[in-house]
Chain A
Amino acid sequence: EAGVAQSPRYKIIEKRQSVAFWCNPISGHATLYWYQQILGQGPKLLIQFQNNGVVDDSQLPKDRFSAERLKGVDSTLKIQPAKLEDSAVYLCASSRDRGGYGEQFFGPGTRLTVL
């Protein structure tokens, strides 16, 4: 089966610009996650969707970050405006179950550099 797809793979922007990332999860997976991974740290959950509803967005900086999952499939994560500290890898993952109990499958990530 096809894995989790993400695009773009790399993005370089200047601070205060906007950027958007796209994720296509594994077909049939109900739960989709966006993580931020800063160099040397573990992934930090930004937002979790079950189908097209938000399950958890408690760590999403809502003044600048937004995410949506239309029709319970693809998802986009947007940063507007970007700050230097947003430089990180943004990982999308999906799982078959509602989250917390089964395997997560990760996409290759988008490496964001904010100058």
Chain B
Amino acid sequence: RKEVEQDPGPFNVPEGATVAFNCTYSNSASQSFFWYRQDCRKEPKLLMSVYSSGNEDGRFTAQLNRASQYISLLIRDSKLSDSATYLCVVNSGTYKYIFGTGTRLKVLA
């Protein structure tokens, strides 16, 4: 089983739609969780950290479920500019980050 797993997609959604991605992780000792965004042929950039109580940043909501070992990202009112690959990142339980393969989102006009 991979340490971090994501549905690669692509998710094709119309503008204005709500879309959710899940990411599962295998190491129950993992302590920090992130969502990064990667545009085509660009470097990854932090979208948001994921806190135990869940957190929201504008149209984006991230949640953590430790019991089931997954994190989620919800995007409301999708914009064309949200089209990108969303990378789930989990710390390995120590000092190392593990990246998922990424979920591709395409928002259609």
Contacts and interface: CB of A to CB of B under 8 A. Distances in A.
Given A100-B92, A101-B31, A101-B91, A43 B46 contact: no
B26 interface: no
Interface residues of B, number: 23
Nearest to B102: A42
B99 to A, nearest CB: 4
Contacts of B45: 106
Contact of B43 (A41, A44, A99, A108): A108
B48 to A, nearest CB: 10
Interface string B81-105: 0000001000110111111111000
Per DSSP, chain A at the interface is loop
Contacts of B91: 100-101
A48 B46 CA distance: 19
Nearest to A103: B46
A77 to B, nearest CB: 16
Contact of A100 (B32, B87, B101, B102): B32
Interface residues of A, number: 23
B28 to A, nearest CB: 15
Contact of B44 (A43, A45, A98, A101): A43
A70 B92 CA distance: 26
Contacts of B44: 43, 91, 104, 106
Interface of B: 4, 8, 31-32, 34, 42-46, 49, 87, 91-92, 94-102
Interface of A: 33, 35, 40-45, 48, 50, 55-56, 91, 98-101, 103-104, 106-109
